[in-house]
Chain A
Amino acid sequence: MLIYLQMMDTEEEREDFEKIYLEYRNLMFYVANQILHNEHDAEDAVHHAFIKIAENMEKIKEPVCPKTKSYVVTIVENRAIDMVRKKNRHAVTEINEELMGLSVEYHGENGLAKCILKLPGRYREIILLKYVHGYSIREIASIMNIKEANAGKMEQRAKKKLRQLCEKEGIW
């Protein structure tokens, strides 16, 4: 089939994705390998993360900045956890949404922030994508490859888990 259309992105926009790739691919591999402990799988996770990043570039204002760094790490962590879930689908122990992502130490005084960092990986990701990166539930569903309704439920479970952690920590 023959297609005929104008280039849609500006030169700058076209280059942003490549800048993100060059800057963060090693870090993303590191994150994925921390979760998957398998280089081949980690590369696969990085590749799929970049596909998702490519599909959701519109909210990235600066290709190389702390916010983008956090975003790409969140995306690749999500993909890696998803791969672990799928690999363990037939395991004796049911693997659910409560798989942990990257372990992050926090020495600040915000108890709620501390609890967010203690959330299981997917719950933390949905909180960060919504409240830090400004994605809607529909957009998060697209990024996570899940249905919008499931993303909504996951957000509810994430908040419930967050409340439980806060209670356990004596914050409330």
Chain B
Amino acid sequence: MTDEMIQAAALEANQALIAQLPLSGECQHEFSPGFRKKMKKLIFRRKHPILSKALRTAAAVVIVFLLGGGLLLTFNLEVRAEFLSWIKESSEGLVMYFSTEGAEKSSGKLRYRLTEIPEGYEEYEIDSSEDGETFVYENERGEFLTFHYLHDSTQVAFGLYTEGYQCISITVGELEGEIYLTDNEEMANAVVWKDENTLFCLDAFLDAEELLKLAETIEAYE
């Protein structure tokens, strides 16, 4: 019995299997809400691999997408609110911020950094692009602290997975923003705020007071 013989027979067997299966329209089933919800999440994660990766890290709450052809069209928008020059949209436990303005402004090229890093955290990764930068720090418990900023750009959206989070309006200095807090110890809290041209996010295993205090240490350096 050679592999070739098995392959030929397997193809024949497969044809028989397919022929015997009912057509999809012949076996309708009303799926439960629980199933539909799980599948909706799975489809979303498939469409947006970054979210899937983010969720696997457990601590992840914040995501940035480089928009590739109609990403936002996939959202069934429930809420739409102005957030200065950024638009905020919420749907299915995901909040997205995206800019309606281009990134050509020279002021949009300023660079920012944290001037204080909480004790015990060390630099883990820095990722820079024309649209902004990400600074990731890690402590000995494997908890991440991330500071991210994005310049106004129609090519970039900024997303937070907010299921289980409470959103509260805050100010960082004089700048308006929102803090996302959770009781889930495996998930980080996050604060998002905006100046004239840039969206900032700080995401860490810190409480609200510590997070806001740290947010105020951010300075432009170029």
- A→B interface (CB under 8 Å): 1-9, 11, 14, 17-18, 21, 23-27, 29-31, 33, 39-40, 43, 46-47, 50-51, 54, 66-67, 69-70, 73, 102, 104-106, 108, 110, 112-117, 124, 127-128, 130-132, 159, 162-163, 166, 172
Answer whether residue B79 sits at the interface, using C-beta atoms and an 8 A cutoff.
no
Answer whether residue B141 sits at the interface, using C-beta atoms and an 8 A cutoff.
no
- B→A interface (CB under 8 Å): 1, 3, 5-18, 20-25, 27-29, 31-32, 34-35, 38-39, 42-43, 45-50, 53-54, 57, 59-71, 127, 129, 134, 136, 144, 146-148, 188, 201, 203
Taken together as a complex, chains A and B put the C-alpha atoms of A131 and B6 apart, in Å, by: 7
Contacts of B34 in A (CB 8 A): 43
CB pair B1–A11 under 8 Å, yes or no, is no
CB pair B129–A108 under 8 Å, yes or no, is no
Q: Mostly helix, strand, loop or mixed at chain A's interface?
A: helix
Given contact pairs A7-B49, A159-B6, a sample of 19 additional A-B residue pairs in the complex whose CB atoms are under 8 Å apart: A1-B136, A1-B146, A2-B134, A2-B203, A7-B66, A9-B49, A17-B47, A18-B43, A21-B43, A30-B22, A30-B29, A54-B46, A113-B10, A116-B13, A117-B16, A117-B17, A128-B14, A132-B10, A159-B1
Look across to chain B and name the residue whose beta carbon is closest to the beta carbon of A15: B47
CB pair A2–B5 under 8 Å, yes or no, is no
Taken together as a complex, chains A and B put the C-alpha atoms of A100 and B5 apart, in Å, by: 23
CB pair B32–A43 under 8 Å, yes or no, is yes
CB pair A26–B27 under 8 Å, yes or no, is yes
With contacts A47-B35, A108-B12 taken as known, whether A166 is within 8 angstroms of B20 at the C-beta atoms is no
Contact sample, A vs B, 23 pairs, CB 8 Å cutoff: A1-B62, A1-B203, A2-B136, A2-B148, A3-B134, A4-B129, A7-B49, A7-B67, A18-B46, A24-B24, A29-B31, A43-B32, A50-B42, A69-B21, A70-B14, A110-B9, A113-B16, A114-B13, A127-B6, A127-B10, A128-B13, A131-B10, A166-B1
| Nearest CB of chain B from residue A11's CB, rounded to whole Å | 5
CB pair A2–B201 under 8 Å, yes or no, is yes
Contacts of A6 in B (CB 8 A): 66, 68
CB pair B42–A117 under 8 Å, yes or no, is no
With contacts A3-B53, A117-B17, A131-B11 taken as known, whether A21 is within 8 angstroms of B1 at the C-beta atoms is no
Partner of A112, one of B9, B28, B60: B9
Closest A-B pairs by Cβ, 7 of them: A2-B146, A112-B9, A131-B10, A113-B12, A30-B27, A1-B144, A116-B13
Contacts of B64 in A (CB 8 A): 2-5
